[in-house]
Amino acid sequence: MSDIRNEDLFEVARQFFPGGVNSPVRAFGSVGGTPRFIQSAAGCRITDAEGSEYIDFVGSWGPMILGHAHPGILEAISQALQDGTSFGAPTERENQLASLIVQMMPGVEMVRLTSSGTEATMSALRLARGITERDLCIKFEGCYHGHADSFLVAAGSGAATHGHPSSPGVPSATADLTCVVPYNDLESVTDFMGEKGDQVAAIIVEPIAGNMGCVLPAAGFLEGLRELCTQHGAMLIFDEVMTGFRVHPGGAQGLLGIDPDLTTLGKIVGGGMPMGVVCGPRSAMEQFSPIGPIYQAGTLSGNPLSVAAGIALLTELNNSSGEIYRDLEAKGQRLEEGWKQALEGHGITHCWNRVGSMFGLFFTEGPVTDFAQAATSDQELFRRFFHGLLREGVAIAPSPFEAGFLSMAHSDADIDQSTVAIEALSL
């Protein structure tokens, strides 16, 4: 057992970082207590500074689909590292990664690499506005698209209203350009587009939401958005930063058979390293500078280490002929059945949403199809559930509004151990 304590590290961290963290959810604000400072990870397990080990169902918020410290990815990074860490210039590996993305994602002909998902979504919206010469965009309550000003917008008082800033520092004038609609509420989008469709540049949506827990699109919802965008000359942007290559080798759009105008990617596409992508048809992507008028840039875009990790991971997924996704579906089904049975044994009301290896657990009757329903989840019960699992050696996201993830490194024994942990809880 290490002499270092998480509490001591957190106390030091609070002297240097706002709230002691570099991304807010890490501070355990939703659940209370002390964040675990992770020392290492391998396979499906993470180890904190005190030497405590946990079965990990966060997976660095999604990218670790093959597991932590996968040998092939580490080797790819190691080889790239020998050549240098950053050049600010094109590399052959960028071509290789782009080729894989184009091969795997439906309708994608060109890509622009960025350093994060936030940069990707921000750039995609700028591209849509530049192409359509319009200003308004529509987003959905509970969907998170990064922390650019246009997306830090909360819903107003109506079913489909101009938003208002959800964070100080976001100008009201910027928020006024974003309309916020409940997820899965196609009727409200239809009404808004009927009134102002000629002013809407884009509708941006997580095709399978992962930032209010895992929430699936209702039948006809995404198809309706596609039809509305086509009808009114707006662009449909799928934010697949979370779902891209996670739920299907072609992302949610490949799974669901719907073609957006633009797609944003992240997480898995960087193999766990910092990476974001804007991609789509050549006709749209060639509007980006330097050959088009719409400016977008980044010194670390296409960082060679991130690109090498992404190539290794996407190659593994692409070469599996779907076997990886079949295995992940089986693991997801085993987890769902085990956890459901364990929670039912405690007499706990709950709702479960899952797509393959991506899942959401809500302590409410359900069904959960939008943020308002997700918000009815018993947050105090989640807090006890979260800390109880930590004590039993199982780590889930420290928020009731985040999806969970499985990896190829989770064995049946690991999944069953997590079920036994739930059975042992005093809730």
Report the catalytic residues. 144, 239, 267
CATH class of the domain at 71-319: alpha beta
- 223-243 tens-digit pLDDT: 999 999 999 999 999 999 999
Written as six digits, the tokens of 282 are 């050549």
DSSP codes of every residue in 376-411: TS-HHHHHHHHHHHHHTTEE--SSTTS-EE--TT--
- Stated pTM of the model: 0.96
- 164-173 tens-digit pLDDT: 788 899 989 9
Count of CB atoms within 10 A of residue 417's CB? 16
Give residue 3's pLDDT band: very low, low, confident or very high (50, 70, 90).
confident
CA triplet 158, 160, 162: central angle to 5 degrees? 90
pLDDT of residue 142: 93
Of the listed ranges 11-25, 112-126, 163-177, 254-268, the least confidently predicted one is 163-177
Give residue 163's pLDDT band: very low, low, confident or very high (50, 70, 90).
low
- 244-288 tens-digit pLDDT: 999 999 999 999 999 999 999 999 999 999 999 999 999 999 999
Domain residue extents for the chain: 6-69+322-423, 71-319
How far apart, in whole angstroms, are the C-alpha atoms of residue 119 and residue 172?
21
Helices 412-423 + 323-345 axis angle, to 10: 20
How far apart, in whole angstroms, are the C-alpha atoms of residue 213 and residue 210?
5
What fold characterizes domain 6-69+322-423? Aspartate Aminotransferase, domain 1 (3.90.1150)
